[in-house]
Amino acid sequence: MLDLIQTTKITDEQRKKIILESMADKYCKLILKNTLDKPKSAIIIAQEEKIPLSTVYRKIKKLCDGKLLAISGSINRDGKKYFLYMSKIREINIRWDVIETKIDCVLNNPKPEDIN
């Protein structure tokens, strides 16, 4: 079966800045890698990648601002909110010339059964 690869061109300068900063940040890259195949909570990400939980939340905010992470949430039986995070991108291509920085993202297309 042939997989369709979807890409998107990033044109917003603020978003480009966030993406470039995120790619230079080891924790952001670990979070994106960890959430590539299935959604995970911040606690699970922190445990699996051995990152302090406060750092995970700070980096998740940055990745969400750059639209690199998808958020899904629900409320558990105790009435507490429960959020899961999943990488929206599988690959980032950055090209620079004297005139501009060009960024293309290959979108992460998980199978529906991976999300549930």
Domain boundaries 7-115, corresponding CATH code: 1.10.10.10
pLDDT the model gives residue 69 = 94
pLDDT the model gives residue 4 = 63
pLDDT the model gives residue 112 = 44
| Sites in the chain below the pLDDT cut of 50 | 1, 111-116
Q: Mind giving me the DSSP string for the chain?
A: -PPPPPEEEE--HHHHHHHHHHHT-HHHHHHHHHTSSS-B-HHHHHHHHT--HHHHHHHHHHHHHTT-EEEEEEE-TTS-EEEEEEESEEEEEEEE-SS-EEEEEEEP---HHHH-
The whole-angstrom separation of Cα 113 and Cα 30 is 23
Q: Kindly tell me the burial class for residue 44, based on how many C-beta atoms sit within 10 Å of its own C-beta (0-12, 13-18, 19 or more).
A: middle
Please report where in the chains the tokens 């406060």 appear, as a residue: 54
pLDDT the model gives residue 116 = 35
